[in-house]
Every structure is written in structure tokens, then in C-alpha cells.
Amino acid sequence: MRFSTVNENKIIFACKYRHKSVAINRKKDMSTTILAIESSCDDTSAAVIRDGVLLSNTIASQKVHERYGGVVPELASRSHQQNIIPVVDDALKQANVSVDEIDAVGYTRGPGLLGSLLVGASFAKAFALAKDCKLVEVNHLHGHVLANFIVTPETVGREQAKFPFLCLLVSGGHTQIIIVRDYTSMEIIGTTIDDAAGEAFDKCAKILGLPYPGGPHIDRHAKIGNPNAFQFNKPQIPNLDYSFSGLKTSILYFLQKQVQENQNFIAENIDDICASAQSTIISILLKKLILASKQTGIKDVVIGGGVAANSGLRDAITETGKRLGWRTFLPELRYTTDNAAMIGLAAYHKYLAGEFSTQNVAPRARYSLQEYFAK
């Protein structure tokens, strides 16, 4: 693990995986080496994957947005432009792989911020042109699902979920229940009708005066709070769909009332408020996941996306799984939030399936998994 401050934008380089002594098969005809690029939001990331095994995963996180309480798209694009070449260079060096060994470059086509996506897509296309290698477009959500399958040379052969399995995908922009039939075949059976689970965390945190992104801060406070201290409204939504916008309103009204009586209410009760809000979000998520498992009969269950880093959700999924006889699988923490390793794995499986992209494929701010897999 290496951290270094790169420039005045306070971009932190974190080599999430470093392995120098890996025995690399240098015969190109016998192995497939993918360079992956992720730039959909505020993390610039590059990874190298050989034959489905992760060799390196470098991430430059943009700290510049913190002071604005959310991602500023224009600043994100500029930072991606500054970061992309050093990040790719770092990923190749960490993997001990040269540009000439790359068989394909995989990149996030969408969904995400258009300006951010453009930087990654343009780099990927230029690289593919220059090195005359294949180009593979990846849907960001496809990556989040496959994050569960990321293995390094040390973890190859680890037990994994068997197809078909259920994936609860919970990120800053999406909340979906997905039947994963194969590496490149998935069906969404439930989705949010308004806010995503990550948004619920972030909006609650904002009300409480916590920094952006709020999810990890709520998680930290919740660990020492009482989840039953306060009751918040849970939505009554039919089928396997979700709604989180009411929770934010419920918390807002509750706090406004309490603060009128005691100005220090939030400061004095922050741990209990966070624990209660988090436990409400988790119980909403689990209720529909349990229903999905009952309806489909599928008992292999995984989670993915930034909110899959939440310690309460991870514990709750594991506990529920034990109670209901599921086999549950949790992605490694470092692969829950945005990273190129997951994009590389998705690109690898698309490469094996012969699904290549062309130079005239444009990035897409909105890009549903249905559309992506319907092609």
C-alpha cells in the first residue's frame, strides 16, 4: 500500500494492490492482459488484469470536492485529466506489465458524469488506436456486480457464488436487486423508484452536518450508537422495488422538532441517530432481498457498490444468510467503492465472449443495465 500527495489538488494515490513478485506469463498468445480505466465520478482508477487475475489497481481519489459537500462535475473532469496518465503509468508499473503486452483496454462507458466519463473513454480509445489493441466498453454497474469475483494471485481459487445468484447492488446512484445468470447475463428484478441507498446515507449525513460522502461517517457513528433509539418511517412499496426519499424527510422533520426543544440534540445524540438511520436503511434493503430470494428460490447472495462497504449491512447480510440458509459472499472492502479492477474483470469476460467496442461508441451519463445487456 502506498500513499503520496501528488499536487496542490491533494490527490491521493493509493495503490490498492501491489504485487511485484508475481510470475507473469509473457507469452501473449497464451494469456489475455487487460488494462482497465474507471472515471465515472470522482475517482480516477486504472487496473491490470491478466487471465482474470488482478495484478494492480491504482486509484486517485479527488479530495477537492469535500469542501463543496458533493462532487463538482467540472472539477472532477479536470482532475481526471490531470490524473489519468500518472494513474495508468502507476498501474502498469505495479503490475510489471508493458504497454505492448496489453491485449485490450476496458473502460467505463456509463452511467456517470459525462465530463468524467469522456476523459476515461478518450484515453481508452487513444490507447487502443495507438497500440492497435481491442476496446471493450463496460457498464459501471456490471463492474460493481463482478467486484465479488475479483481475485489476486494470492486469492485465486477462493470459493465464490454460483450462477444464478442474487446481487444487492447498492451505490451512490443505484439500488437494485439483480439475478446474475452469468458473467455477462443479468436481469434486474427490483430497483429504487427515487433515491438510491447511498443517496439516503449521504442526505441523512448532510442533515446531520457530516462531511461528504456521508455514508462512511454514518457507519462510523452507528458502530457506537443504539439502532433502536429512534424510529423512522419505512416505505410501503409493492414488489421488489425500493424507495428512500421518505426516510430523509422523516429524519429531517424528527430533527427539526427535537432541535426546537434542545439545540444540542444532534451533537448529543449523533451516534444513536446514525445507528437508527442506518438500521432503518438496512432493514428496508433486507426486506426486499429476502422476498427476492423467496420468490426466485435463489440462495446464493452477494452485495456490491459503495454501500456494500457499510459494516452494519455486511453484518446483517451475513446474519440473515445464516438464519435463512443462504450462502452469502461479500466483496473485499477495497473493491466496494469505485475502482478499475471491477471494470477490468467485466472487460475480461466481455473479451472472452468476443464483445468488443468501436471508436465511435460515445460515453453515456445514463446507461441502464437492461439496455447494456439487451445488446
Binding site for Zn ion (CB under 5 A): 171, 338
Cα-based torsion angle of the residue sequence 249, 252, 253, 259 in order, rounded to the nearest 10 degrees:
180
Distance CA 330, CA 182 (A): 18
* Residue 216 contacts ligand KG4 per CB under 6 A: yes
128 vs 196, beta carbon nearer Zn ion: 196
User: Sign of dihedral through CA atoms 186, 189, 192, 197?
Assistant: negative
How many residues line the site for ligand KG4 (CB under 6 A)? Answer: 19
- Nearby residues of 307 by Cβ (< 8 Å), 6 or more positions away: 170, 171, 172, 197, 198, 201, 215, 313, 336
Distance CA 312, CA 318 (A): 10
- Nearby residues of 29 by Cβ (< 8 Å), 6 or more positions away: none
153 prior amide bond cis, ω within 30: no
Distance CA 223, CA 225 (A): 6
Supply the minimum distance, in Å, between the C-beta of residue 257 and ligand KG4. Answer: 26
Sequence length of the chain is 375
Interface pick for ligand KG4 out of 110, 115, 120, 198 (rule CB under 6 A): 198
Q: Are 204 and 247 in contact (CB under 8 A)?
A: yes
- Residue 307 touches which of Zn ion, ligand KG4, none (CB < 5 to 8 A by kind)? ligand KG4
* Residue 309 contacts ligand KG4 per CB under 6 A: yes
- Residue 310 touches which of Zn ion, ligand KG4, none (CB < 5 to 8 A by kind)? ligand KG4
Distance CA 335, CA 333 (A): 5
User: Sign of dihedral through CA atoms 295, 298, 301, 304?
Assistant: negative
- Residue 202 touches which of ligand KG4, Zn ion, none (CB < 5 to 8 A by kind)? ligand KG4
CA atoms within 13 A on the CB side of 91: 32
* Residue 190 contacts ligand KG4 per CB under 6 A: no
Supply the minimum distance, in Å, between the C-beta of residue 197 and ligand KG4. Answer: 8
Interface pick for ligand KG4 out of 115, 120, 213, 363 (rule CB under 6 A): 213
202 vs 338, beta carbon nearer Zn ion: 338
Supply the minimum distance, in Å, between the C-beta of residue 108 and Zn ion. Answer: 9
Supply the minimum distance, in Å, between the C-beta of residue 227 and ligand KG4. Answer: 14
Neighbours of 68 (CB within 10 A): 10
Supply the minimum distance, in Å, between the C-beta of residue 365 and ligand KG4. Answer: 13
Neighbours of 20 (CB within 10 A): 10
Supply the minimum distance, in Å, between the C-beta of residue 193 and ligand KG4. Answer: 18
The set of cell numbers assigned to 230 is 429512534
* Residue 331 contacts ligand KG4 per CB under 6 A: no
Region near ligand KG4 per CB under 6 A, out of 101-109, 147-155, 248-256, 300-308? 300-308
- Residue 139 touches which of Zn ion, ligand KG4, none (CB < 5 to 8 A by kind)? none
Interface pick for ligand KG4 out of 45, 293, 310, 357 (rule CB under 6 A): 310
Closest CA to 302 of 144, 156, 111, 188: 144
33 vs 45, beta carbon nearer Zn ion: 45
* Residue 214 contacts ligand KG4 per CB under 6 A: yes
Helix (H) or strand (E) holding 48: strand 43-50
Distance CA 184, CA 60 (A): 28
Pairing of strands 300-304, 185-191: unpaired
Backbone angles phi, psi at 132, to 5 degrees: 55, 50
Supply the minimum distance, in Å, between the C-beta of residue 325 and ligand KG4. Answer: 27
Interface pick for ligand KG4 out of 338, 349, 357, 369 (rule CB under 6 A): 338
Interface map 140-179 toward ligand KG4 (x if CB under 6 A): -------------------------------xxx------
Q: Is 155 helix (H, G, I), strand (E, B) or coil?
A: coil
41 vs 208, beta carbon nearer ligand KG4: 41
* Residue 305 contacts ligand KG4 per CB under 6 A: yes
Supply the minimum distance, in Å, between the C-beta of residue 136 and ligand KG4. Answer: 19
Task: By CB under 6 A, name the binding residues for ligand KG4.
Answer: 41, 171-173, 198, 201-202, 213-216, 219, 305-307, 309-310, 337-338
